[in-house]
Amino acid sequence: MSKSRLIGLTNRALMLIAAGLLVFSYLSILVNPAKMWLVSVAGILFVPLSLINLILLVWAILRRSKAFVIPLLAMLPAVFFIGRYVQSGNRETMAEGSSENTIKVISWNVGRFAYHSDEVDGFEECVDSVFRYLKEQDADVICLQEMYVRDSRKMKEYFGSKMKGYVAEYYMFPGRKGSFGNVTLSRLPVRNRGKVKFDESANLAIFTDYESFGKVFRVYNCHFESYNISVSGIIRGMLDAESDIIAETGTKMKRSITRRPKQVDQVFSDIENCPVEAFVCGDFNDNPMSYTYYRMMRDRKDAFVEAGEGFGATYARLWPLLRIDYVLCPKSCNVLEHDIPRIELSDHYPVITEIAL
């Protein structure tokens, strides 16, 4: 076999592998990861896999290779999904609904206020900065995940001082030095409240029914199973010859990927029995090419897709690759504005949206 023919076959093999992995990422929205968890990994890698196939496509075209068909066909379905990651902006929607009855909603994983914990007084400064920012936003509903307090017995006093005028609905898990959990803050009248707890997990969803402009609606504040993987920890482990960091990371990913769909199904079942229209907010710990996203999107609009602009990534440490925080609203609503400000107060960026009911 000639050298040129061998190179050609190798190139085609690489293209087929890259194309096959991209096709697997499409399947991740349909396959329950509890049954086939590796498909979900391909979904996580949708963006880099798309870029790899794009590079291979351009390279094949420049070489005038007929193999360009392989990455081209693999990338065609990506046209229908790329809008979940990046948007050019939809100002027409904003203008059309600007006079309607609106509410402003924020969802933010505040990361237990640990983003600057290595600095002197970093925790207290982070807490003050987060709540100062939230007060400036003047939102109607605020969904916080990984909220941390040192004394959960004084929650009402705590939020009374931090967010005067807001009523807090919450569920906190006891920790070693304090408590953490989900908190929903609002100035709207509360009509009902509850929670969806997950087995063997310190994650959960809480829900609150609010009334605004004569309409009652429910807001789910979700925090689904996380990977519990530290990027810095992985790097340190790779530098340690005796470390089993790769195997440990794989185990953590599998555990998270297989647990999360059960939690998602629990919340979905609760939504199905909800007597009013439901908003779903929170940290899903999953990207738009996932079973989680498409399950939660049933009969809802993605606020970013409707009115976002630029990259939709919300996880600061791997920006712009990971979009895992969402505000999903009922289809009857009109999304007017959407913003993901890149403020350095958590490893997640807040998701801020204005919605016409």
303 and 155 fall within a common domain: yes
pLDDT mean across residues, the chain: 90
pLDDT, mean of residues 212-219: 96
Inform me whether the pLDDT recorded for 239 exceeds 50: no
38 and 160 fall within a common domain: no
Give the Cα separation of 141 and 147 in Å (integer): 15
106 and 222 fall within a common domain: yes
The confidence band for 105, taking pLDDT boundaries of 50, 70 and 90, is: very high
Half-sphere exposure of 152 (CA within 13 A, CB side): 17
Q: 100-126 as b/e, with b when 16 or more CB fall inside 10 Å?
A: eebbbbbbbbbbbbebbeeeeeebeeb
pLDDT tens-digit readout, 56-79: 999 999 989 989 999 999 999 999
pLDDT higher at 20 or 227: 20
Give the Cα separation of 320 and 11 in Å (integer): 29
196 and 72 fall within a common domain: no
Residue pointed to by tokens 């693999």: 74
Residue 322: which residues within 8 A CB-CB, separation 6 or more? 287, 313, 314, 315
* Number of separate helices (H) and strands (E) present in the chain: 11, 14
195 and 282 fall within a common domain: yes
What's the pLDDT at 232?
47
36 and 108 fall within a common domain: no
Last residue of a domain, one of 53, 80, 107: 80
What predicted TM-score, i.e. pTM, was given to this entire model?
Answer: 0.91
What's the pLDDT at 156?
85
233 and 351 fall within a common domain: yes
What's the pLDDT at 82?
94
Q: Find the CATH number of the domain harbouring 311.
A: 3.60.10.10
Last residue of a domain, one of 27, 60, 80: 80
166 and 309 fall within a common domain: yes
Other CB atoms within 10 A of residue 210 CB: 25
243 and 333 fall within a common domain: yes
Domain containing 46: what range?
3-80
pLDDT tens-digit readout, 120-157: 578 889 999 999 999 999 999 999 999 999 888 888 88
Domain count, the chain: 2
